[in-house]
Every structure is written in structure tokens, then in C-alpha cells.
Structure 1
């Protein structure tokens, strides 16, 4: 078994806003002793463009990008307050503004809203609490749910036409079940194998692999490739030995081009790496003193064929980490807690497009999607300046 890599940030090295630049946090340890080539980004404070119809988005719980670089987000309309946010939806209306947008919104690369859909239907069981949105290689849209009764996932065309439901709602947790899920967090894909990987989830403690056409479950596993259990592991303790099971929620399971799978074991502050058959390869323990929601919320890869960089959304520490995907070395991070462009309030989901741009969504009170424009690479020692348009770099 490969040894775990544990990286800890020095609190004294936390950088704030420097001039017009949003400074990244340097890393305390060997990764700061030499310069690395790191990607550079510029936050686009005007993306996306304002929504029509006085629409607002609520807790924004997923983001995905299709083959046209159209960006899909999913949010929770019910998280909006009818008194303070969507008075026009109150009964009777309390104000002229605003109304909840449909759950699924599609933007073109320029940030124009080009489509919207989603919600309850007689054709399928819409999740009690939708969670995650992913776009497969055929531009189909997959959605999970982490509500109390959400033991199923949904598949749609990119225009919202229903294709398939896998599982039935209202099932009891059973991490060995091959018929349903346990509040699935995210679905990702291996086009060559025609397989979907389900991060499963908020009730189950496993990765589940299904056939993308039929929904048939093909295999499943827990932490380190162990058979998963539904044992309550209790609160995370950073001083305890590494847990031999995933701790709910298992929040992402994303395959790379070279046949590896990166799993977000969120409350355990770790990313575990597997072969796609479930064989354990390695793990990264990221900011292991992080409590609460944990440090590893979602991952996305740079779009080069080698997928050299992995980006990790860290909603608890309000930042995005930049990691060498193969070595699992943390190179830099960017962001800070806040509601200004380039800052985060619970960075929940992350995706990249074909140009290398990053998109993030924020849950809780963040309620937005942001775009970080890839501007090239440069040498750095763990400190990445995220520039505002026309702004200068940080120290």
C-alpha cells in the first residue's frame, strides 16, 4: 500500500488581497522550496450575465461543462427566502423582485443564459434535494440528490428530455445494494468503458459503477478498496489512524484519462486514488486539521491530454487547491472567504472547459457560479496571483 501524503499549510503564509490581485496561499513544506510551473487565472467578475425575469439562483450545488463549452449549473430554488430574496414568489407577492430560477441553467461561453429546465414531473422522481450535475461525452446530463429519500439518480438530454432513472426513492441505506444509491453526490464518466462512477454518497460509503446505458451496477467498493459498510464512524478525529472506510459524504469520484479514479472522501480530508476496478493506489490527506465539512469537496482536471493539474474545491477553507495530479503534490491555492469576485463562500463544485478555464459554484449563502479565465502558466513557489482584468499580480 502506498504511503499517504500529508500536506499542511502554514497559517503565517496566508495571503490576502494585494492591490487588485487575489493572493493564493503558499504551502509550508517541501513544495515551497523550488519554483513550479503553475497555471494562472484571472477572475471574470462579469460572468455570467444577469439572468432574465428577475430570476435568482439559490444554493448552487453542481457545475458541468459540455462539448460546446456550455456551462450547466444546478441550484436549489427552495433555499431562497420568500421574504428577503424572492418576494415576487410569495403568496401574496411581497415585492416586485425576485423569482426563483428553474433548477438547471445553461450558459454559453460568453455567459449568456441559453436554456433552463428541471423540477418535478410525472415522468421521473425529481430529487428531494438535488445534488451535482455532470455532462457525459454524449452531452447527456446526470443529476443526483442528497435529500433524505434520494436513493436514485437521473439522466436527461442536454435540453432536459428525460432518458433514464436508476433506482427508486425512499430506500434504506445499504452500501452493498446493487439496486439503488444512498444520497448520491456526483456522477462522472469513462466513455471508453461506457461506465458512470457514482460518488455514493451522503448515506452510503462507497463508489458505485454502473453501465451508462442500462444503469446496471457493475461493481462497488469502499475506502482502500475495502468492502463498504454502513458503520457510523463518528466525528472525524485528525489524531486518529486513517479510517478504513469512507466517511459520509463520499463527494466525488472522477476518472482521469490514464485509468485512475480520484475519490473525494470529504470529511476525512483526503482524496483516495484507485484504478477503475477499485484497486487502491495512493491518497492525499489535505489540510488534515480541517473539521466541519472537510477539505476535499470536488475535483476537476486541466484539459491537456496528460491532465497535469488537478483542482480541488475546498468549501470549508474557502479556496481552490492546485495539485500535480500524478505526484499529488500541492503546488498552490487561491481564494479566500468572502463574497467578492474571486473569493468563496463554501466552494462546492468545480469544472473546467476545453480552454482550461475554471468554473466554481457555491452552496449555503454563496449562491453563485464564478469563472476563472486561464491565462497561461508561470513559475511560482506555491503562490498564484488571480488577477482582476487590468490588475497587477500579488507578491
Structure 2
């Protein structure tokens, strides 16, 4: 197996604090509920400090590890030759840029510490003929054709999913990119009741006891596996019931993310829609699941008897297009919930005790502090918020916590 690890520790100098302060940008925001302290933020226009020859493609995954390093998942295959001309042989440019590996680790200041990823690190081997929807793959390559979802657990191991053609697999790696194990298998899916195979998983959460998968772009469910041996534990659909909405037929492509052919959002629907987009463990044994197409987050509690449905949290219910409820994160003390809203280009701020919206920040746009296809959100131990964008957004941003507005 060839090594695809790019060691970049110490390659970039840290930015002095005085310079960093000059790069903080005001962010559009608003208060929705009075009488509750509102967290406030500024965007850090200097973050991250990529090497001079790299350019980011789509960024579909984000995780802040327990040491406050920031991991991002990129799609180098989303870059075209005019953006990444150094990838060509011979190069198409005498200047920047080349595409990065799939997995990047930054320190909190934005220095790139580690980068790796690609088929060389996963089991199997395949040959692809044709392009786009006409592409045909032969073989058993396990690295996803289109990565989606990233999680870094307490032990520092990295979990990756995929939502491209046949990407019915979750892979687990060491921090340096050495393959450990996998759930499911590419090119194999058996529907919502399968206890072994997945259907285009979107997100992962591992607490050392069990692995939760938002199984999510073909299937419409959450499924849990035992941490030790990845044996099946349980699965559920909306409201904690057996998944009943069927599966998506054929391969997913991004045009489906904005399609209304499958109907308008229904925050009271009895089933999850395709694109069960996140699964995030919260305080007090809670589990938050993003039902993106229905503009809602469903909240559950894990217990000895299984999963218990607690609450429907509805986010901008009238929104169409790419919809809302893309990802969820929590303030360090667990007081606030942050919900990434893809279509409206906002991060909604809710109080976790009652899930009422108290405010928001961000808007659609391409300047610092704005979003295009806002995809993921996470928070570090100091309350700074990180976000990623896909499609034509193609970036990761850092929002520096400024304190509370009374």
C-alpha cells in the first residue's frame, strides 16, 4: 500500500495576535428573543493559513478534536484544471495551485499540521471508465468516490463517510491516515432494515461505546454499531420508529439537493426524507439528527432500553431549495445549540434547555462571515465556531467568540 501522507507540521509560522486582531470582520447577525444572553462572533478573515500552493475544493466535513485541533474533509476531485493547474503533467500554470489531500488537520491558529487521504490508504482497487453519470467502476476500491462527513473521536481516530455512486461505507483511520476498519462496503446496500450494509452515509458519531451513522442519502435512518467489534446494535427512523420512507433509487447527485420533485419540506412528517444529514451526540445522552429536507432536527435520548424520541426542533420551516438543518454543534458549556442552515446561509443560535431560537449570524454571500452552501458547524473549547461550505462555497471559516450581548 502506497503512502499518501503529506507531513507539513511546522511548515507555517503562527500569526502574531496583533495582526490577527486586524483580520477580524464584523458579521451580520440579529437577536430573535429578548432577555437571554446572545453569543456574538467576528469572522477571522486570515483563517486558515494554507500553504501558498494549495487551494480548497468543496469542504463537506468538519470536526474539532478534544485537543482543539480542527480537522476538515475536502473534495480535491471538485477542483477543475483551471483551479488546480499544478496537478497536471505538464502543469498548466507557473503559479498556484494544486489540490490538497482529502483530510487536513489545523491547529487553532490555522497552521496546517497534517494532511492525507485517497484510495491508496483504503482497501481494494478499482478501475473507472467514462465520466460523470456515465462512469462505470469495476473492482472493490473502498475509498469513497465522493467523501461526505467527518468525525474525530476521543482516541483521535478519524471516521469518514461517502455519498457518491456506490459509496455505502464508513472508514476509520488513525490520525496519520492508517486504515483501521470499516462499516459496510462500497457498491453494496440492502435498504433501511439491513444490519450490515449502509446506504450513502452522511455523518458519524463515536463515543467509545457505539458508533452512530446518519445513513442518510440512500437510506433514511440512523444505525448504531458496537464500538468494540462494530456489531449491529439498533436502528431507527423519525420519532424513533422503524424507518418507513423507503430508499432513494439510483445514485445521488448534487442536483437532487435542490430538487422539489420529492415534495416540499414537511416538519411534521412521519418519516425522514433522504438526506438524513447529521447525527450529533449532545449533553445528557441526547442525540441530534438533521432531517435536512424536512427543515428540522429531531432530538432523541439514548438509554438502557434503546432510543427515546424527545422533540422536533423546526428551523425556518417555509424554506425551499437546499433546505435547512444541515449540521448541529454545542457551546462548550452546553447552554447553546448552533444549527447550520444551508439555504438561508445562517447559523441559528438556540438555547438547549428549550430549543428556542435566540438569534443568528451569517448571510448568503462570498465575503468573510458569509456562506454559500453552508454545510458543517463545530465549536472549540473556547467557544469559537467553525463552518464549512460545499458546491461553489469551497471554504472553511473561523468565527471568534466575542462574549455575550445582554
Alignment deviations for residues 188-232 of structure 1 (CA, whole Å, 9 cap, x no partner) = 1334xx112111110010011112232212000000112113536
Per the alignment, residue 142 of structure 1 pairs with 159
What is the distance in 2 between the residues matched to 1:103 and 1:311?
26
Paired residue for 1:214, among 229, 240, 248?
Answer: 229
Alignment deviations for residues 151-189 of structure 1 (CA, whole Å, 9 cap, x no partner) = 110111112121111111102350111111111111013
Cα RMSD for the two superposed structures: 1.7
CA shift for structure 1 position 319: 1.0
User: Contact 1:60–1:75 (CA<8 Å) still a contact in 2?
Assistant: yes
Q: How does 1:74-85 map to 2 (within 5 A)?
A: 74-82=73-81, 84-85=82-83
- Do residues 47 (structure 1) and 47 (structure 2) align? yes
How has the CA–CA distance of structure 1 residues 133 and 241 changed in structure 2, closer, same or farther, with 3 Å as cutoff? closer
Paired residue for 2:147, among 130, 133, 157?
Answer: 130
Per the alignment, residue 366 of structure 2 pairs with 339
Structure 2 gaps of 5+ residues are 1-24, 124-141, 249-260
Alignment deviations for residues 70-97 of structure 1 (CA, whole Å, 9 cap, x no partner) = 1110110010011x20112234422122
Instruction: Return the TM-score normalized by structure 1.
Output: 0.84
Per the alignment, residue 186 of structure 1 pairs with 203
- Is the partner of 2:172 in helix, strand or coil? strand
User: Contact 2:26–2:43 (CA<8 Å) still a contact in 1?
Assistant: no
Per the alignment, residue 93 of structure 1 pairs with 91
Instruction: Return the TM-score normalized by structure 2.
Output: 0.82
Per the alignment, residue 22 of structure 1 pairs with 27
Per the alignment, residue 14 of structure 1 pairs with none
CA shift for structure 1 position 247: 0.3
4+ long deviations beyond 4 Å: none
- Is the partner of 2:201 in helix, strand or coil? coil
User: Contact 1:188–1:196 (CA<8 Å) still a contact in 2?
Assistant: yes
- Do residues 242 (structure 1) and 268 (structure 2) align? yes
User: Contact 1:60–1:361 (CA<8 Å) still a contact in 2?
Assistant: yes
Alignment deviations for residues 79-117 of structure 1 (CA, whole Å, 9 cap, x no partner) = 0011x2011223442212211111111101111001100
- Do residues 155 (structure 1) and 172 (structure 2) align? yes
What is the distance in 1 between the residues matched to 2:296 and 2:237?
14
Per the alignment, residue 13 of structure 1 pairs with none
- Do residues 227 (structure 1) and 242 (structure 2) align? yes
How has the CA–CA distance of structure 1 residues 286 and 123 changed in structure 2, closer, same or farther, with 3 Å as cutoff? closer
Per the alignment, residue 38 of structure 1 pairs with 38
Per the alignment, residue 329 of structure 2 pairs with 300
How has the CA–CA distance of structure 1 residues 335 and 122 changed in structure 2, closer, same or farther, with 3 Å as cutoff? closer
- Is the partner of 1:67 in helix, strand or coil? coil
Q: How does 1:319-338 map to 2 (within 5 A)?
A: 319-338=346-365
User: Contact 2:42–2:400 (CA<8 Å) still a contact in 1?
Assistant: yes
- Is the partner of 1:138 in helix, strand or coil? coil
- Is the partner of 2:119 in helix, strand or coil? coil
User: Contact 1:271–1:285 (CA<8 Å) still a contact in 2?
Assistant: yes
CA shift for structure 1 position 248: 1.0
- Do residues 266 (structure 1) and 281 (structure 2) align? no
Per the alignment, residue 216 of structure 2 pairs with 201
Paired residue for 1:285, among 298, 301, 314?
Answer: 314
- Is the partner of 2:77 in helix, strand or coil? helix
What is the distance in 2 between the residues matched to 1:249 and 1:81?
26
Deviates more, 1:91-100 or 1:336-345: 91-100
What is the distance in 2 between the residues matched to 1:221 and 1:89?
43
Alignment deviations for residues 120-157 of structure 1 (CA, whole Å, 9 cap, x no partner) = 02642111110011111111110001112011101111
User: Contact 1:266–1:297 (CA<8 Å) still a contact in 2?
Assistant: yes
What is the distance in 1 between the residues matched to 2:65 and 2:225?
21
Count residues in correspondence.
348
What is the distance in 2 between the residues matched to 1:340 and 1:108?
23
CA shift for structure 1 position 278: 2.2
CA shift for structure 1 position 26: 4.3
How has the CA–CA distance of structure 1 residues 189 and 38 changed in structure 2, closer, same or farther, with 3 Å as cutoff? farther
